[in-house]
Structure 1
Amino acid sequence: MNSKLIRAKWLNFFEANDHLIIPSKSLIPQNDPSLLWINSGVATLKEYFEGKKNPPSTKMVNSQKVIRTNDIENVGVTARHHTFFEMLGNFSIGDYFKKEAIELATKFLLEELKLDKDKLYFTYYYEDLETKNLWIKQGFSEEHMIAGDKKTNFWEVGSGPCGPNTEIFYDRGTKYDQRGVELLKNDIENDRYIEIWNIVFSTFNSDGQGNYTELKQKNIDTGAGFERIVSILQDAPTNFDTDLFLPIIHEIEKYTKYRYDADNYFVKEPKQAEINTYFKVIADHMRAVVNAAGDGAKPSNVGRGYIIRRLIRRSLYFTMLLGIKKPILHKLVQVVKNTLPYEYNQDQIIKIIIDEEQAFAKTVENGRQLLNKHISEDQKIFDGALAFKLFETYGFPFELTEEILASQGISIDKEAYLEAKTKHENASKGNKVSGMDKVINSLTLITQKVDNFVGYEFIEAKTEILYLLDQETEQETIEGIGYLVLKQTPFYATSGGQRHDKGYITQNNRKITVLDVFKDKYGNHIHKVSGTINKIDPVECFVDPKIRLGLERNHSGTHFLFAALRTVLGPQIKQLGSDNNEERLTFDFPADTKPTNEQIAKIENLVKSYIKLSSTRHYLNMTTNQAKEMGAIMTLEEAEYMDPNSVRIVKFDNITADLCGGTHLSNSGKLENFKIISVEKKSATVFRIRAISSHRLVNEYLKNKQDELLQEVNNLINRNKLLDQNYTFEPNLNNNLEDSINLLNNAISQIRNDYVKLQKQKETNTLFSYDNIEFKTFKGFKFSLLEVSMQDNPKVIATTLREKYLDTTFFVVTKGLNPMLVVASKILNSNFLAQQIFQKFNGKGGGNAILSMGKIASTENLTKFIQEGLNWEN
């Protein structure tokens, strides 16, 4: 049975049993900053299980792509470790429970997959006899039931929902291990009994202290290993010997003399085992890279970008071990894509990989040079700390260092390497900080959504305090720094790229400053304040209107900029990040190359045209389907919104419509003005635009820019006067700042061009002064020794004369202390002659056959040495 059919059977079976199919989501978490990658089938559904969002159905099924890299060293070594894999899952939120879950699992395994009933084994939590009896009731032998303890069969992560679980294993027979069921009973790692499905019965709520209360709404969360099921149904010794991996492995074989041998699993020939590992690692990592890059991940030195880079570089290293000299990873993209059901931009993925291949080639060459510098003759042991530095600082793989040294009979001090690695890891852990300076433990006292945001309509509000907290607990009165939750608040909390409002709160004629506003996990607005305040008396809130207006300008400006970018650069442009405060905005977007100056000008002018439209802003609430129909920019997938039946749209007539929770201008004309002040490269394929809005800020920026350019113009004019004291230039300016800036930029270009012309004129004038050259002949070689001023540019004089007098060797020296020597010749080796002079006159320098230059201590007796001591003939 091929893998495509197995995946389809899973989805179709549960859909036929009233489950909603949830398509596989992006590997990049869309609304969960706690995750680097989507790492489980339930990860994209977490908010449904936590009750933060209403699920689109109480019964769901998926085949979710997943990345995990915590066991990367085991990939290719074991039969089942992967960095990328697919997790099959069926889920119930307050719907069916144990009985139905076990019935569905039995039906799927026996009727759809046709697995042998007698080869299935089941673990269960020893207190959960109900689960054991339900499996027996399905016709499975009691001898195939293995009781587990809390460590093996009770799913719990800190506080929150938890419960017993049951695991399903498939027995592949004695050819994989002669030992029997004791492998399961003693939880021994083996290749005979393969876990294929884990079903968690979410039954209790844990307080994290060992106390459990039964949940009113019980849930089912399952995970079945797709690659494992495929290997069983295809009777493959490892997951790599299936139709998910073998096409990739066979493609790699085209570029190497080595061959992959699946039978080696049973033969255990050590060298072939190593070769097999190389193939497996490349195939596995390329599956991860293609899927991650397809979902928008870009190689970099941090976060998930670092993971992608590491996977590509590990793959490149293993291609080297297979004797492959040229980069081939980009040639594997098509075959990887053919093994998967996902649609990606193949050209974009190939470009990302090619760029990394080229960068790694430079890294390897630089690493080799650095390594060779630190290898001395008769060396037997290489410093392990230095080997780690080569890896950490320059990205040079430890394995490659080890291989190069081994070829020269040198071993690495691995203890020193591990010590340096551990020291670095500990330092890195110590440098990690959470999102806040301190953990606010008192926030755990808030257990649900209690407040109401009124800031879309009002910037002032009379209200009452629901929670008054210090760092650790709830208080009746606070003097100094505190945290509070209000029944209703006009203060916007930092979210969606928009910074929080600023302002103050009054109580009993006292003024309390609002320092920060952020949201807790339930969406409550947490106000960090400074002052004296009590929980009992009512309060009045005042948002700073000037700061709110600045925030609204830049947030609306971000929407206009996004619309303009998509118009000028294309609809493929996505928002990768934004940050808006009252002074400026930033916008991150993907692009292979930096936009041209012409494109930037078009984008800026388009935003200015939106301002002139004076378009009215509308806040609309509708379903995600309605939003798509009206062409709204959807930043998430439909199932990921808090409530797919009610999403908030910010619409400016004839400009843009976007899903957004921020505050905005009532009319596009209130943006007043817009100026892009820079376009920066954040990474290989990500750029950041910085921009400002409003007449005041744009005019301030333009005035400062004009002053800077005027200063540069004056500096350049003064530089030109050093070449020609009569040089003058009067830049044209007018009352329009933008026009003046353009005129000044043109002036700077003109003055710089004038400088080049003046330099050439000075060089020409200087050369005319050396027309009466004294030529001498020695041993048949014609030469001339000239003494010039440093300001006359001895290099230009020497090269110009060399081209004019092709049969002459020129020795040009400067007057004064530490004279410069330039040797230029078309008939003799200039560097050979110069090095003799450097050695004789305590000098230093270098060059090539036609030009060599450097410094010497003195010119005394130089003519005599040239005629009597110089070896001319070599």
Structure 2
Amino acid sequence: MTSTEIRQQFLDFFNSKGHRIVPSAPVVPHGDPTLLFTNAGMNQFKDVFLGTGSRDYKRAADTQKCIRVSGKHNDLEEVGHDTYHHTFFEMLGNWSFGDPDSKDGIGTGYYKKEAIKWAWELLTEVWKLPKERLWATVYRTDDEAINYWENETDIKHDHILRFDEKDNFWEMGETGPCGPCSEIHINLSDDYDNPKYVNAGDPKCIEIWNLVFIQYNRDENGKLHDLPAKHVDTGMGFERVCAVLQKKNSNYDTDVFTPIINAIEKLSNIKYDYKLPADDNSPTGQTNIAMRVIADHIRTLTFAIADGATPGNEGRSYVLRRLLRRAARYARKLNLKEPFLYKSISVVVENFSQVFPEIKSNQTQIEKIIKAEEESFNATLDRGIELFDQLVKKLNTQNEKVISGDDVFKLYDTYGFPVDLTAVMAREQGFTIDEARFNELMNEQRERGRKGRTLNVSTSIRASFNASATLTVIHPTVFTGYDELLTDAEIIETKEDGNKLLVVLDKTPFYVESGGQVDDTGSIFIGDTHLRVIDLTKINNQVVHILENDASIKLEAGMKVTAQVNENRRWDIMRNHSVTHFLHKALREILGTHVQQSGSYVGPDRLRFDFTHFEKVKESELDAIESLVNEKLRENIPLTHRRDTPFESAKKMGALMFFGDKYGDKVNVVQFGDFTMEFCGGTHVKNSSQIGLFKIVSESSIASGVRRIEAVTGAGVEKYIKEQENKVQNAERRVNEILDEKKKLEKELADLKLKEKLGGIDAIVSSSTEVNGIKIFKGRVPASNMDELKSMGDELREKMKSGVGVLISEIEGKVGIVAVVSDDLIKEKKILAGNIVKQVALIVGGSGGGRSHLATAGGKDVSKIGEALDFIEKVVIQ
């Protein structure tokens, strides 16, 4: 059974039990700041368990992408050294949200009884796992679960074991939802009937499924209270169950990992030993560990980057950097010194993209990011390894087995070695590290950085921000965003507003929404840290940057910062904004000068342009407008941007004003050659060719006398074309399906008609005549074509047993004849169907022939069909 089949069987099983099959949440959790990565299937349902959210279904199942590399679930040091720990894994799970007393109604909730019964059914009836090897553990006081195991399954009663909180009680945190759990273990050893291996950490006796029954809420005093709604939350390690079902000694021997390991073998020209040598320190053991680590880490990196994470120095970004650098260092054991991890991405994509298509769509980006990281680390990796080897050599001469925290910190700070990487290298040489001293040095470094970038916020401005209030300091913000997207600036004033921080700078590249153009996004950098700009507003010509508040970062007036706009997003906005000027002019040229702009929206993904016009724009007019715009874009027209032009001077130039902008004594004029010139305070491309292609996607009415055009440019056009292609392909596929269905129905109808016609053969068989001891079966029958008539002849020959049969039909104004003769008459009387049909055909002005047992003929004179039927006896006598 393949891993793909195992995954699908799990989902199909719970789908048959009324579960909604939901997609995996991203491994980068959006909207949950408490998690670095999604680490369990229940993460996406956390709001349901906390009572702050709900779903429109009571039962769910999925395969969830999970990453566990930190916190209490951190097994990083074991990955690759054993056969079953991973940093990335899939968790198969099923859930019930409340409604535990629903009598197993499909689509409603359920609780312990169904969860236990269905788990046993899947494991033993669908997957046929040997019951004698399975063990169930329950929380020591959970008699209800014990009862269901004993009465709803046929597990051996002495294979049901009680354990305490450590093993069989689940908690989301120190407070909050919690409850007992029941785990299912399988003992793969020869001594499978011995309970001592359960929960003992034996690699041959492993947990394969955990059924959590969330029924309590723990308060701040540690007291448990019954929850009003009881939930089921189960989790099964996909890789682990694949190893069990595929009868493999290691998760890495399953088809989940073997394609990746095969790719590593090809890259390194070293074979992986599937015999699992007992000595990890042997050359084979070391290369095996290296391949397992790399295979594991490359999966983690692929899925994390596909879901939006990138290697870096903070938080989840640093986790990815640690993994990548661990993998790069293990690659040295395979003599791989050039970047190679990125070459393995295609294998991961090939094997998992059908279930997780996001890794396919992001493959190129993933490869680029990983390759760049490899190249960066490789520059210092060899020097760091050289330093480490020198340290080990020195300590060996001193008979020391602990690498100092100062040396570990130097490897981290100078050569980029994550502390866990140094710990692994030390363990391989029989050393340990002084991690306490390392952490002390890390804290000192963080403190120095914090002092260098934080100051106390002025107490005079701690009041909550009120957008209508006047700021303490009046200092108009200089906008630099026409010329640059990154500006060094000084803080003029800051205010706190709950979880937001409000900052005014002396200058900024951030554009504040105006004239239809949306706000910029980006970050404010303070030293090595940054705060994300989540909104912008303008008060008294001051741009207020609304940032995510970080309690560890304190700002005050006078601090130096760097403001950086999201470049790709700004470029998309500029393309869409500039093209509205071209569109406006094209509308006026094609439809008339009565066209005036009535409103607009300019975002990164699309543009919307409202204009005055008295009727629906014809398709031919839309084509002409689109063609004119694209023609001008291809002319490579440069931007002329006149800033601070006196208002009256700009008007005299003939510039048009865009809707929504407010103009003072001086204005900005945006001009592209002699085609378009308008008042505009927005940001624009430097040349029309930078816009790319322009495509109108819709035209509609929004009010009497006001029309709306929606359009896309650049990458938006590519996306639109692809969507249209998909629609066409879907339509073509549907048409073909309809045509196939039509053919199928036509054939079914023809078969029914033929069956009805064949039913008339019985009447001919029952009304036979006899001449010279030879039975004659004849008749006029309805037939649509000669094939039908031949089928009726076959039917007659089968039913008449012995005799001569002749059927005649009028087919499309002509005569069709079929003659059949039984085998005995052919052999004993030498009567041949071909001879009979030839003579009968002469009566109706035709001819024919065929084989001895069946022959056909055609004729022209349908009026003589009766005469031909009467002539058959004479032919037989002859």
**1:560: how far off?**
2.8
Q: Does 1:554 align with 2:571?
A: no
Structure 1 residues 654 and 123, CA gap change in structure 2 (3 angstroms): farther
Name the amino acid aligned to 2:155: F
2:319 equivalent in structure 1: 307
- Provide the C-alpha distance between the structure 2 equivalents of 1:247 and 1:282, rounded to a whole number of angstroms: 13
Q: Deviations over 1:303-337 (max 9, x none)?
A: 22222222122111111111123222121111112
- Provide the C-alpha distance between the structure 2 equivalents of 1:608 and 1:424, rounded to a whole number of angstroms: 58
- Provide the C-alpha distance between the structure 1 equivalents of 2:122 and 2:426, rounded to a whole number of angstroms: 55
Q: Does structure 2 conserve the Cα–Cα contact (< 8 Å) formed by 1:554 and 1:584?
A: no
Structure 1 residues 515 and 325, CA gap change in structure 2 (3 angstroms): closer
2:16 equivalent in structure 1: 16
**1:256: how far off?**
2.6
1:358 equivalent in structure 2: 375
Q: Does 1:386 align with 2:407?
A: yes
For residue 120 of structure 2, the aligned residue among 85, 103, 106 is 106
Q: Does structure 2 conserve the Cα–Cα contact (< 8 Å) formed by 1:501 and 1:517?
A: no
TM score, norm. by length of structure 2: 0.52
1:41 equivalent in structure 2: 41
Structure 1 residues 386 and 45, CA gap change in structure 2 (3 angstroms): same
Unaligned 5+ runs, structure 1: 438-479, 485-490, 493-499, 505-513, 520-525, 529-542, 564-575, 619-630, 635-650, 656-673, 677-692, 703-734, 743-874
Q: Deviations over 1:531-567 (max 9, x none)?
A: xxxxxxxxxxxx9xx99xx9x993678973679xxxx
Q: Deviations over 1:87-114 (max 9, x none)?
A: 1111111121111211221221122212
Higher Rg: 2
1:289 equivalent in structure 2: 301
- Provide the C-alpha distance between the structure 2 equivalents of 1:293 and 1:307, rounded to a whole number of angstroms: 12
- Provide the C-alpha distance between the structure 1 equivalents of 2:68 and 2:441, rounded to a whole number of angstroms: 22
Q: Secondary structure at the match of 2:318?
A: helix
Q: Deviations over 1:768-809 (max 9, x none)?
A: xxxxxxxxxxxxxxxxxxxxxxxxxxxxxxxxxxxxxxxxxx
Structure 1 residues 89 and 256, CA gap change in structure 2 (3 angstroms): same
1:164 equivalent in structure 2: 180
1:224 equivalent in structure 2: 236
- Provide the C-alpha distance between the structure 2 equivalents of 1:578 and 1:675, rounded to a whole number of angstroms: 30
Structure 1 residues 429 and 133, CA gap change in structure 2 (3 angstroms): farther
- Within a 5 Å distance, the mapping from 1:394-409 to structure 2 comes to 394-396=415-417
- Provide the C-alpha distance between the structure 2 equivalents of 1:240 and 1:275, rounded to a whole number of angstroms: 14
Q: Deviations over 1:402-437 (max 9, x none)?
A: 999999xxx99965x53542313555787999xxx9
**1:164: how far off?**
1.0
1:118 equivalent in structure 2: 132
Name the amino acid aligned to 1:172: L
Q: Does structure 2 conserve the Cα–Cα contact (< 8 Å) formed by 1:22 and 1:62?
A: yes
2:226 equivalent in structure 1: 214
Name the amino acid aligned to 1:7: R
**1:75: how far off?**
0.6
2:754 equivalent in structure 1: none
Structure 1 residues 379 and 229, CA gap change in structure 2 (3 angstroms): closer
Structure 1 residues 553 and 155, CA gap change in structure 2 (3 angstroms): same
Q: Secondary structure at the match of 1:201?
A: strand
- Provide the C-alpha distance between the structure 1 equivalents of 2:301 and 2:582, rounded to a whole number of angstroms: 41
- Provide the C-alpha distance between the structure 2 equivalents of 1:559 and 1:237, rounded to a whole number of angstroms: 60
- Provide the C-alpha distance between the structure 2 equivalents of 1:66 and 1:404, rounded to a whole number of angstroms: 27
Structure 1 residues 145 and 354, CA gap change in structure 2 (3 angstroms): same
For residue 144 of structure 1, the aligned residue among 159, 183, 199 is 159
- Provide the C-alpha distance between the structure 2 equivalents of 1:296 and 1:153, rounded to a whole number of angstroms: 35
Q: Does structure 2 conserve the Cα–Cα contact (< 8 Å) formed by 1:171 and 1:192?
A: yes
Q: Does structure 2 conserve the Cα–Cα contact (< 8 Å) formed by 1:604 and 1:675?
A: no
Structure 1 residues 696 and 389, CA gap change in structure 2 (3 angstroms): farther
Structure 1 residues 81 and 350, CA gap change in structure 2 (3 angstroms): same
- Provide the C-alpha distance between the structure 1 equivalents of 2:389 and 2:664, rounded to a whole number of angstroms: 55
For residue 599 of structure 2, the aligned residue among 589, 611, 615 is 615
**1:240: how far off?**
1.1
1:74 equivalent in structure 2: 78
2:536 equivalent in structure 1: 580
Q: Does structure 2 conserve the Cα–Cα contact (< 8 Å) formed by 1:200 and 1:222?
A: yes
Q: Secondary structure at the match of 1:255?
A: helix
**1:260: how far off?**
1.4
1:57 equivalent in structure 2: 57
Q: Deviations over 1:356-395 (max 9, x none)?
A: 1211222236647988999999995698423431323331
Structure 1 residues 234 and 503, CA gap change in structure 2 (3 angstroms): farther
TM score, norm. by length of structure 1: 0.52
Structure 1 residues 57 and 483, CA gap change in structure 2 (3 angstroms): farther
Q: Does structure 1 conserve the Cα–Cα contact (< 8 Å) formed by 2:601 and 2:608?
A: yes
Q: Secondary structure at the match of 1:42?
A: helix
- Provide the C-alpha distance between the structure 2 equivalents of 1:318 and 1:360, rounded to a whole number of angstroms: 13
Q: Does structure 2 conserve the Cα–Cα contact (< 8 Å) formed by 1:363 and 1:396?
A: no
- Provide the C-alpha distance between the structure 2 equivalents of 1:61 and 1:376, rounded to a whole number of angstroms: 54
Q: Secondary structure at the match of 1:202?
A: strand
Unaligned 5+ runs, structure 2: 99-108, 455-459, 472-493, 522-531, 546-562, 585-595, 612-640, 644-659, 670-678, 687-878
Structure 1 residues 349 and 617, CA gap change in structure 2 (3 angstroms): closer
- Provide the C-alpha distance between the structure 2 equivalents of 1:214 and 1:395, rounded to a whole number of angstroms: 50
Name the amino acid aligned to 1:155: W
**1:518: how far off?**
3.6
Structure 1 residues 8 and 501, CA gap change in structure 2 (3 angstroms): farther
For residue 197 of structure 2, the aligned residue among 166, 183, 188 is 183
Structure 1 residues 97 and 737, CA gap change in structure 2 (3 angstroms): closer
1:88 equivalent in structure 2: 92
- Within a 5 Å distance, the mapping from 1:507-546 to structure 2 comes to 516-518=496-498
Structure 1 residues 515 and 482, CA gap change in structure 2 (3 angstroms): closer
1:844 equivalent in structure 2: none
Q: Does 1:422 align with 2:439?
A: yes
For residue 198 of structure 1, the aligned residue among 210, 218, 233 is 210
1:276 equivalent in structure 2: 288
- Within a 5 Å distance, the mapping from 1:443-458 to structure 2 comes to none
Structure 1 residues 429 and 19, CA gap change in structure 2 (3 angstroms): farther
Q: Name the % identity.
A: 32
Moved more, 60-69 or 290-299: 290-299
- Within a 5 Å distance, the mapping from 1:465-484 to structure 2 comes to none
- Provide the C-alpha distance between the structure 1 equivalents of 2:497 and 2:379, rounded to a whole number of angstroms: 47
Name the amino acid aligned to 1:170: I
- Provide the C-alpha distance between the structure 1 equivalents of 2:57 and 2:462, rounded to a whole number of angstroms: 41
- Provide the C-alpha distance between the structure 2 equivalents of 1:331 and 1:210, rounded to a whole number of angstroms: 51
1:233 equivalent in structure 2: 245
Q: Does structure 2 conserve the Cα–Cα contact (< 8 Å) formed by 1:240 and 1:280?
A: yes
- Provide the C-alpha distance between the structure 1 equivalents of 2:609 and 2:518, rounded to a whole number of angstroms: 11
Q: Deviations over 1:442-491 (max 9, x none)?
A: xxxxxxxxxxxxxxxxxxxxxxxxxxxxxxxxxxxxxx99999xxxxxx9
Structure 1 residues 216 and 247, CA gap change in structure 2 (3 angstroms): same
**Aligned residue pairs, count:** 535
Q: Does structure 1 conserve the Cα–Cα contact (< 8 Å) formed by 2:37 and 2:316?
A: yes
1:131 equivalent in structure 2: 145
**1:61: how far off?**
0.8
Q: Does structure 2 conserve the Cα–Cα contact (< 8 Å) formed by 1:64 and 1:86?
A: yes
Q: Secondary structure at the match of 1:261?
A: coil
Q: Does structure 2 conserve the Cα–Cα contact (< 8 Å) formed by 1:333 and 1:350?
A: yes
- Provide the C-alpha distance between the structure 1 equivalents of 2:422 and 2:20, rounded to a whole number of angstroms: 52
Q: Does 1:7 align with 2:7?
A: yes
